[in-house]
Amino acid sequence: MDQVNEVAIVGAGPAGIAAAIYLKRAELHPILLEKNEPGGLLRHAYLVENYPGFPGGITGIELVELFVEQLHAAGVSITKSGVKHVHHHDDTFLIETDQGRLVSSAIIIASGTTPRKLGIKVSASIEGTRLFYDPRSIPLRGNGVKKRILVIGGGDIAFDYTLTLLNWGHEVTIISRSEPTCLPLLQERVRNNGATIHTMSGPEEIVEHREDILLRCRRNNHVEELPADFILVACGRDSNTSFLSPTLKKCIDNTSDGSQPPLPGLYFAGDVIRGPYRQTGIAVGDGIHAAMIVEHYMRTRPVKP
Protein backbone atom coordinates (compact mmCIF):
# COMPACT_ATOMS: atom_id res chain seq x y z
CA MET A 1 0.00 0.00 0.00
CA ASP A 2 1.39 3.42 -1.03
CA GLN A 3 1.82 6.07 1.65
CA VAL A 4 -1.18 8.44 1.51
CA ASN A 5 -0.34 12.17 1.36
CA GLU A 6 -2.87 14.52 2.93
CA VAL A 7 -3.11 16.95 0.02
CA ALA A 8 -1.49 17.06 -3.40
CA ILE A 9 -1.40 20.25 -5.47
CA VAL A 10 -0.84 20.03 -9.22
CA GLY A 11 0.94 23.15 -10.45
CA ALA A 12 3.16 25.71 -8.70
CA GLY A 13 1.78 28.81 -10.38
CA PRO A 14 0.24 31.60 -8.26
CA ALA A 15 -2.81 29.44 -7.38
CA GLY A 16 -0.82 26.37 -6.33
CA ILE A 17 1.73 28.41 -4.37
CA ALA A 18 -0.98 30.34 -2.48
CA ALA A 19 -2.79 27.08 -1.65
CA ALA A 20 0.43 25.43 -0.44
CA ILE A 21 1.35 28.33 1.87
CA TYR A 22 -2.12 28.29 3.43
CA LEU A 23 -2.17 24.52 3.93
CA LYS A 24 1.29 24.39 5.44
CA ARG A 25 0.32 27.04 8.01
CA ALA A 26 -2.79 24.95 8.77
CA GLU A 27 -0.44 22.05 9.56
CA LEU A 28 -1.50 19.99 6.62
CA HIS A 29 1.49 18.91 4.59
CA PRO A 30 0.85 19.55 0.93
CA ILE A 31 2.94 17.99 -1.77
CA LEU A 32 3.32 20.63 -4.48
CA LEU A 33 4.00 19.12 -7.91
CA GLU A 34 5.43 21.24 -10.73
CA LYS A 35 6.66 20.03 -14.11
CA ASN A 36 8.52 23.23 -15.08
CA GLU A 37 9.82 26.26 -13.24
CA PRO A 38 7.58 27.62 -10.46
CA GLY A 39 5.43 30.68 -11.16
CA GLY A 40 3.55 29.39 -14.20
CA LEU A 41 2.30 31.95 -16.67
CA LEU A 42 3.19 34.82 -14.38
CA ARG A 43 6.84 34.29 -15.36
CA HIS A 44 5.98 35.74 -18.79
CA ALA A 45 4.28 38.93 -17.61
CA TYR A 46 6.21 42.00 -18.71
CA LEU A 47 4.87 44.28 -15.99
CA VAL A 48 2.19 43.50 -13.40
CA GLU A 49 0.50 46.72 -12.35
CA ASN A 50 -2.75 45.44 -10.87
CA TYR A 51 -1.53 43.11 -8.13
CA PRO A 52 -1.91 45.03 -4.86
CA GLY A 53 1.21 45.79 -2.87
CA PHE A 54 3.39 47.03 -5.72
CA PRO A 55 2.43 50.65 -6.42
CA GLY A 56 5.05 51.04 -9.14
CA GLY A 57 4.27 47.66 -10.74
CA ILE A 58 6.55 44.64 -10.70
CA THR A 59 7.80 42.32 -13.42
CA GLY A 60 6.26 38.85 -13.53
CA ILE A 61 9.61 37.21 -12.79
CA GLU A 62 10.25 39.42 -9.75
CA LEU A 63 6.80 38.67 -8.37
CA VAL A 64 7.39 34.94 -8.88
CA GLU A 65 10.68 35.20 -7.00
CA LEU A 66 8.86 36.78 -4.06
CA PHE A 67 6.14 34.10 -4.16
CA VAL A 68 8.78 31.34 -4.12
CA GLU A 69 10.71 33.04 -1.30
CA GLN A 70 7.52 33.12 0.76
CA LEU A 71 6.74 29.50 -0.11
CA HIS A 72 10.18 28.43 1.12
CA ALA A 73 9.86 30.62 4.24
CA ALA A 74 6.62 28.78 5.03
CA GLY A 75 8.55 25.50 4.80
CA VAL A 76 7.13 24.14 1.55
CA SER A 77 9.38 22.72 -1.14
CA ILE A 78 8.42 22.10 -4.72
CA THR A 79 8.53 18.55 -6.06
CA LYS A 80 9.74 18.72 -9.65
CA SER A 81 7.41 16.27 -11.27
CA GLY A 82 5.06 16.21 -14.25
CA VAL A 83 1.65 14.73 -13.49
CA LYS A 84 0.65 12.34 -16.26
CA HIS A 85 -2.60 10.93 -14.95
CA VAL A 86 -4.96 11.37 -11.99
CA HIS A 87 -7.90 9.20 -11.12
CA HIS A 88 -10.09 8.60 -8.10
CA HIS A 89 -10.45 5.27 -6.38
CA ASP A 90 -11.79 4.29 -2.99
CA ASP A 91 -11.74 7.82 -1.46
CA THR A 92 -8.22 8.58 -2.63
CA PHE A 93 -6.58 10.16 -5.65
CA LEU A 94 -4.02 8.11 -7.53
CA ILE A 95 -1.47 10.34 -9.20
CA GLU A 96 0.88 8.99 -11.87
CA THR A 97 3.87 11.25 -12.39
CA ASP A 98 7.03 11.06 -14.47
CA GLN A 99 8.81 10.29 -11.17
CA GLY A 100 6.47 7.53 -9.99
CA ARG A 101 3.13 7.09 -8.26
CA LEU A 102 1.57 9.09 -5.42
CA VAL A 103 -1.63 8.78 -3.44
CA SER A 104 -3.50 11.63 -1.70
CA SER A 105 -6.71 12.13 0.26
CA ALA A 106 -7.41 15.50 -1.36
CA ILE A 107 -6.13 17.21 -4.47
CA ILE A 108 -6.09 20.78 -5.75
CA ILE A 109 -5.81 21.08 -9.52
CA ALA A 110 -4.00 24.37 -10.21
CA SER A 111 -2.56 23.43 -13.58
CA GLY A 112 -3.44 26.62 -15.46
CA THR A 113 -3.96 26.72 -19.20
CA THR A 114 -2.29 25.78 -22.46
CA PRO A 115 -2.06 28.03 -25.52
CA ARG A 116 -4.64 27.48 -28.23
CA LYS A 117 -3.21 26.42 -31.60
CA LEU A 118 -3.69 28.61 -34.64
CA GLY A 119 -5.89 26.20 -36.57
CA ILE A 120 -4.34 26.99 -39.97
CA LYS A 121 -1.99 25.11 -42.29
CA VAL A 122 1.52 25.12 -40.82
CA SER A 123 4.43 23.02 -42.02
CA ALA A 124 5.47 20.64 -39.23
CA SER A 125 9.15 21.66 -39.42
CA ILE A 126 8.51 25.18 -38.10
CA GLU A 127 6.66 24.17 -34.89
CA GLY A 128 9.17 24.84 -32.12
CA THR A 129 11.83 26.18 -34.51
CA ARG A 130 10.16 29.29 -36.02
CA LEU A 131 6.65 29.13 -34.50
CA PHE A 132 6.28 29.57 -30.74
CA TYR A 133 3.71 30.17 -28.02
CA ASP A 134 5.74 32.17 -25.49
CA PRO A 135 8.60 34.62 -26.01
CA ARG A 136 11.05 32.90 -23.71
CA SER A 137 11.03 29.77 -25.87
CA ILE A 138 12.20 31.68 -28.97
CA PRO A 139 15.97 31.37 -29.49
CA LEU A 140 16.49 35.14 -29.42
CA ARG A 141 18.42 36.33 -26.49
CA GLY A 142 22.13 36.84 -26.27
CA ASN A 143 23.10 37.09 -29.95
CA GLY A 144 22.32 40.84 -30.22
CA VAL A 145 20.75 40.50 -33.68
CA LYS A 146 17.44 42.25 -34.28
CA LYS A 147 14.80 39.76 -35.48
CA ARG A 148 11.47 40.32 -37.24
CA ILE A 149 8.70 38.77 -35.18
CA LEU A 150 5.01 38.50 -35.98
CA VAL A 151 2.79 38.22 -32.92
CA ILE A 152 -0.63 36.77 -33.76
CA GLY A 153 -3.40 37.81 -31.37
CA GLY A 154 -5.26 40.88 -30.18
CA GLY A 155 -5.63 40.35 -26.43
CA ASP A 156 -3.65 41.47 -23.38
CA ILE A 157 -1.23 38.54 -23.59
CA ALA A 158 -0.29 39.27 -27.24
CA PHE A 159 0.38 42.90 -26.39
CA ASP A 160 2.26 42.08 -23.19
CA TYR A 161 4.46 39.59 -25.11
CA THR A 162 5.08 42.33 -27.67
CA LEU A 163 6.38 44.66 -24.96
CA THR A 164 8.79 41.95 -23.83
CA LEU A 165 10.07 41.43 -27.40
CA LEU A 166 10.42 45.18 -28.03
CA ASN A 167 12.30 45.48 -24.75
CA TRP A 168 14.72 42.82 -26.02
CA GLY A 169 15.34 44.99 -29.10
CA HIS A 170 13.35 43.15 -31.78
CA GLU A 171 11.04 44.38 -34.53
CA VAL A 172 7.46 43.34 -33.87
CA THR A 173 4.30 43.37 -35.95
CA ILE A 174 1.02 42.37 -34.31
CA ILE A 175 -1.56 40.58 -36.47
CA SER A 176 -5.10 40.74 -35.17
CA ARG A 177 -8.22 39.35 -36.88
CA SER A 178 -10.38 42.12 -35.42
CA GLU A 179 -9.81 45.34 -33.55
CA PRO A 180 -7.55 44.46 -30.60
CA THR A 181 -9.40 43.50 -27.43
CA CYS A 182 -6.51 44.33 -25.10
CA LEU A 183 -6.48 47.20 -22.61
CA PRO A 184 -6.16 50.54 -24.43
CA LEU A 185 -3.09 51.43 -22.35
CA LEU A 186 -1.26 48.35 -23.68
CA GLN A 187 -2.07 49.40 -27.26
CA GLU A 188 -0.69 52.83 -26.60
CA ARG A 189 2.51 51.47 -25.05
CA VAL A 190 3.07 49.02 -27.87
CA ARG A 191 2.60 51.77 -30.49
CA ASN A 192 4.81 54.20 -28.58
CA ASN A 193 7.53 51.56 -28.44
CA GLY A 194 7.54 51.12 -32.21
CA ALA A 195 5.46 48.01 -32.96
CA THR A 196 3.22 47.90 -36.03
CA ILE A 197 -0.37 46.67 -35.62
CA HIS A 198 -2.21 45.01 -38.53
CA THR A 199 -5.90 44.75 -37.71
CA MET A 200 -8.67 42.92 -39.60
CA SER A 201 -6.04 40.53 -40.86
CA GLY A 202 -6.90 36.81 -40.73
CA PRO A 203 -3.97 34.35 -40.85
CA GLU A 204 -4.51 31.55 -43.41
CA GLU A 205 -1.20 29.78 -43.89
CA ILE A 206 2.44 29.78 -42.84
CA VAL A 207 5.06 28.63 -45.33
CA GLU A 208 8.84 28.58 -45.48
CA HIS A 209 10.46 30.71 -48.15
CA ARG A 210 14.27 30.67 -48.39
CA GLU A 211 15.55 32.12 -45.09
CA ASP A 212 12.15 33.52 -44.12
CA ILE A 213 8.83 32.23 -43.01
CA LEU A 214 5.83 33.84 -44.65
CA LEU A 215 2.52 34.40 -42.95
CA ARG A 216 -0.30 34.58 -45.50
CA CYS A 217 -3.18 36.69 -44.25
CA ARG A 218 -6.48 37.73 -45.76
CA ARG A 219 -7.19 41.43 -45.34
CA ASN A 220 -10.07 43.19 -47.12
CA ASN A 221 -10.34 40.32 -49.61
CA HIS A 222 -6.65 40.56 -50.51
CA VAL A 223 -4.03 38.03 -49.54
CA GLU A 224 -0.91 39.62 -48.09
CA GLU A 225 2.35 37.86 -47.29
CA LEU A 226 4.31 38.97 -44.27
CA PRO A 227 7.91 37.75 -43.98
CA ALA A 228 9.40 37.06 -40.55
CA ASP A 229 12.13 35.27 -38.65
CA PHE A 230 9.74 34.01 -36.00
CA ILE A 231 6.02 33.86 -35.30
CA LEU A 232 4.58 34.00 -31.79
CA VAL A 233 0.99 32.85 -31.33
CA ALA A 234 -1.18 34.30 -28.53
CA CYS A 235 -4.70 33.43 -29.67
CA GLY A 236 -6.39 32.33 -26.48
CA ARG A 237 -5.86 29.58 -23.93
CA ASP A 238 -7.65 26.39 -22.84
CA SER A 239 -7.82 24.70 -19.42
CA ASN A 240 -5.00 22.26 -18.88
CA THR A 241 -6.78 19.12 -17.72
CA SER A 242 -5.51 16.48 -20.15
CA PHE A 243 -4.03 14.43 -17.29
CA LEU A 244 -7.37 13.98 -15.49
CA SER A 245 -9.41 10.80 -15.89
CA PRO A 246 -12.64 11.31 -17.88
CA THR A 247 -14.68 11.23 -14.64
CA LEU A 248 -12.54 13.88 -12.97
CA LYS A 249 -12.49 15.99 -16.13
CA LYS A 250 -16.27 16.11 -16.11
CA CYS A 251 -16.14 17.60 -12.60
CA ILE A 252 -14.65 20.82 -13.93
CA ASP A 253 -17.88 21.48 -15.79
CA ASN A 254 -19.91 20.92 -12.66
CA THR A 255 -18.19 23.37 -10.38
CA SER A 256 -18.37 27.09 -10.95
CA ASP A 257 -15.87 28.33 -8.40
CA GLY A 258 -14.58 25.27 -6.56
CA SER A 259 -16.65 25.96 -3.43
CA GLN A 260 -18.95 23.01 -4.00
CA PRO A 261 -16.74 20.22 -5.18
CA PRO A 262 -18.63 17.66 -7.25
CA LEU A 263 -16.37 15.01 -5.73
CA PRO A 264 -15.26 15.32 -2.08
CA GLY A 265 -11.54 16.06 -1.91
CA LEU A 266 -11.27 17.42 -5.47
CA TYR A 267 -10.81 21.15 -5.97
CA PHE A 268 -9.81 23.43 -8.85
CA ALA A 269 -8.06 26.78 -8.48
CA GLY A 270 -6.86 29.56 -10.72
CA ASP A 271 -6.79 29.92 -14.48
CA VAL A 272 -7.70 26.25 -15.01
CA ILE A 273 -11.25 27.05 -13.89
CA ARG A 274 -11.60 30.74 -14.62
CA GLY A 275 -12.30 30.82 -18.35
CA PRO A 276 -11.43 34.29 -19.62
CA TYR A 277 -10.94 35.73 -16.12
CA ARG A 278 -7.26 34.95 -15.85
CA GLN A 279 -5.49 37.19 -13.34
CA THR A 280 -2.87 36.64 -10.66
CA GLY A 281 -5.07 38.07 -7.91
CA ILE A 282 -7.92 35.73 -8.84
CA ALA A 283 -5.56 32.73 -8.97
CA VAL A 284 -4.09 33.56 -5.55
CA GLY A 285 -7.58 34.04 -4.06
CA ASP A 286 -8.76 30.79 -5.62
CA GLY A 287 -5.74 28.92 -4.23
CA ILE A 288 -6.43 30.18 -0.70
CA HIS A 289 -10.16 29.47 -1.07
CA ALA A 290 -9.53 25.90 -2.22
CA ALA A 291 -7.01 25.39 0.61
CA MET A 292 -9.53 26.56 3.22
CA ILE A 293 -12.15 24.13 1.89
CA VAL A 294 -9.58 21.33 1.82
CA GLU A 295 -8.65 22.11 5.43
CA HIS A 296 -12.30 21.83 6.47
CA TYR A 297 -12.73 18.63 4.46
CA MET A 298 -9.64 17.00 5.96
CA ARG A 299 -10.70 17.85 9.53
CA THR A 300 -14.31 16.72 9.18
CA ARG A 301 -14.29 13.80 6.76
CA PRO A 302 -15.18 10.39 8.18
CA VAL A 303 -12.03 8.30 8.42
CA LYS A 304 -12.36 4.63 7.58
CA PRO A 305 -11.43 2.28 10.43
Ligand X SMILES: Cc1cc2nc3c(=O)[nH]c(=O)nc-3n(C[C@H](O)[C@H](O)[C@H](O)COP(=O)(O)OP(=O)(O)OC[C@H]3O[C@@H](n4cnc5c(N)ncnc54)[C@H](O)[C@@H]3O)c2cc1C
Residues that bind ligand X (CB under 6 A): 10-16, 33-36, 40-42, 44-45, 48, 50-51, 82-83, 110-113, 157, 160-161, 240, 243, 270-271, 278-281, 283
- The nearer residue to ligand X, 218 or 249, going by C-beta atoms, is 249
Residue 127 beta carbon to ligand X: minimum distance, rounded to whole angstroms: 19
Nearest to 148 by CA among 175, 123, 173: 173
Residue 102 beta carbon to ligand X: minimum distance, rounded to whole angstroms: 11
Q: What gap in Å lies between CA 126 and CA 120, rounded to an integer?
A: 13
Residue 88 beta carbon to ligand X: minimum distance, rounded to whole angstroms: 16
- The nearer residue to ligand X, 160 or 214, going by C-beta atoms, is 160
HSE (side-chain half, CA atoms, 13 Å) at 51: 23
Q: Which residues pair with 122 in a beta bridge?
A: 206
- The nearer residue to ligand X, 5 or 214, going by C-beta atoms, is 5
- The nearer residue to ligand X, 34 or 229, going by C-beta atoms, is 34
- The nearer residue to ligand X, 214 or 244, going by C-beta atoms, is 244
- The nearer residue to ligand X, 17 or 228, going by C-beta atoms, is 17
Q: Which amino acid is at 72?
A: H
Residue 214's SS3 state is strand
Residue 159 beta carbon to ligand X: minimum distance, rounded to whole angstroms: 9
Contact 58, 47 (CB under 8 A): yes
Residue 39 beta carbon to ligand X: minimum distance, rounded to whole angstroms: 6
Q: What gap in Å lies between CA 35 and CA 218, rounded to an integer?
A: 39
Residue 240 beta carbon to ligand X: minimum distance, rounded to whole angstroms: 5
Q: Mind giving me the DSSP string for 239-303?
A: E--TTB-HHHHHHHHT-SSSSS-SSTTEEE-GGGG-TT---HHHHHHHHHHHHHHHHHHHHHSPP
